[in-house]
Amino acid sequence: MGSVREFLKNNVRQYAMLIALVLIMLFFQITTEGVLLVPMNVTNLVLQNAYVFILAIGMTLCILTGGNIDLSVGSVVAFIGAVAGSLIVTMKMDPGLAIVIVLLVGLAIGVWQGFWIAYVRLPSFIVTLAGMLTFRGLTIFMLKGLTIGPFPEFFQGISSGFVPDFLASGEPELNVTALVAGAAIAALYVLVQLSGRLHKRRNGYASSALPLFIAGLVLVVGVIGLATYWLAAYRGIPIVFILIGVLVVAYSFFTMRTVPGRYLYAMGGNEKAAQLSGINTNKVLFFAYVNMGILSAIAGIAVASRLNAASPLAGQNFELDAIAACYIGGASASGGIGTIVGAIIGALVMGVLNNGMSILGIGSDIQQFVKGLVLLLAVAFDVLSKRKAR
């Protein structure tokens, strides 16, 4: 019991919101009489919040550099949708080519804002606030205040399509391809964790007690199995879910396992010390905002695909959702602390709150109040835990 208490004490920041997420899901599962975790609703929860997951990944990198944020992402999402709509719907361009172009536009936006923030050293708040106004204005100008659509079926499939059930014959109750994919992911996770544990023991590094290690494996594999069942019981694996999964794995590996990824944490921890250590902090900050531009473009494609239209009203308050997801997921307001998985957990907390309250018929005014209170409590927890650590 002593080792368990010590483990929880040392990892309270990492697991607090995960525990909170589970409790929130249980609460709404009971109050909605089981509607929250109906397979169709779980799939819709993923589809509705795909943009938050994508934007929160990029926002985490910005926050890691020292608490910097990007207020322009919602307007960039709308602008990217407008560009995609103009190219695909108005100009009849091939959707694949149009996607490449809008990703390059997102890259250019990231370079533009990153230059002012990283090399001119204007405050990120001011630069991205200017970007929020600029790209919203450009969106309205391009669309002339109108909504254009619909998009071709290929483009719609990005956010509304599902992976076909290649492994099933007939019409089974459960999507076999989803079940097999879930089993493969669970097996791969177990192998990676076992390999990491063996590597630590061979090199004399500290590792968690075996019972805790096994309990962690069982918990994660159980979550993977449950999520797989929910997806398999409806229509299988959404295409956008695969996109999000790839981004989460890639960015988790980048931030935790690569030298450039560790530079983000070093800069957020102490920029002066990072500079003295030979880290080019201008390049690190520039990269964070270039990356944010690209991910905003990806989110813009996902949103336009789901709406099946380019709208001048798209993306409103998306920046607030992404920032809130990062802070709720454990990112520090001063930078240097935070994880990609934590941001995803934070986005799920926001998504479950929205979905659960909507099912219960709670008005948007109360929903905004509750989300604001949750954000305040999450940041307060971060500040108070730091004070106790001193």
Fold entry, domain 2-161+238-389: ABC transporter involved in vitamin B12 uptake, BtuC (1.10.3470)
CB 324 within 8 A of CB 88: no
**Domain assignments of the chain as residue spans, ordered by start:** 2-161+238-389
- On the question of pLDDT at 362 being above 90, the answer is no
CB 31 within 8 A of CB 360: yes
Provide the 3-class DSSP secondary structure of residue 162. Answer: strand
* Each residue's pLDDT tens digit, 197-244: 888 888 877 777 778 778 878 888 888 888 888 888 888 889 999 999
In sequence order, what are the beta bridge partners of 148? Answer: 310
* Each residue's pLDDT tens digit, 304-352: 999 999 999 998 889 989 998 998 888 888 888 889 988 999 999 889 9
Look up residue 98 and give its two tokens.
């149009």
**For position 386, what pLDDT does the model report?**
62
Assign 142 a pLDDT band (cuts: 50, 70, 90): very high
- On the question of pLDDT at 389 being above 80, the answer is no
* Each residue's pLDDT tens digit, 83-138: 999 999 999 999 999 999 999 999 999 999 999 999 999 999 999 999 999 999 99
Look up residue 93 and give its two tokens.
């361009």
Provide the 3-class DSSP secondary structure of residue 46. Answer: helix
Measured between alpha carbons, how far apart are the two ends of the chain, in Å?
A: 26
Is the whole model's pTM more than 0.85, yes or no? yes
Distance between CA 202 and CA 175 in Å, rounded? 41
Residues 6 or more apart from 85 whose CB is under 8 A from it? 143, 148, 149, 151, 304, 309, 310
